[in-house]
Amino acid sequence: MIQILRFIFIGFLAAILGTTLWAGSVVALWDTPREVATHPWFIATLVDTYLAFFTFWLWVAYKETGWISRLA
């Protein structure tokens, strides 16, 4: 099972990196049009994503025993 999960997560990582590289080659992040950056769904997606990352980090920090591991 762990091998299957590793394969899936490697695929996810490849998709994320590929999409980010593609998007960065089409338009620079700082050139995002104002209409996009202020669109409610764009903001909702960013908030959702970053809160999910923070939630995951909090869970890992809670489960880790050492302070260095918790901060990393």
**Token pair 């918790």 in the structure block, residue:** 70
What is the per-residue pLDDT for 35?
92
Give the range of the structural domain holding residue 19, as residue numbers without chain letter: 1-31
CA-based end-to-end distance of the chain: 27
Q: Torsions phi, psi of 33, nearest 5?
A: -60, 145
CB-CB contact of 70 with 64 (8 Å)? yes
Chain position carrying tokens 């899936």: 8
Q: Are residues 51 and 72 in the same domain?
A: yes
Q: What is the three-class DSSP state of 66? A: coil
Q: Looking at the structure, do residues 39 and 60 belong to the same domain, yes or no?
A: yes
pLDDT in 10s for each residue of the chain, 72 residues? 899 999 999 999 999 999 999 999 998 888 888 999 899 999 999 999 999 999 999 998 888 888 887 777
* pLDDT the model gives residue 63: 86
d(CA 43, CA 51): 12
- Asked if 71 and 47 sit in the same domain, the reply is yes
pTM of the model: 0.61
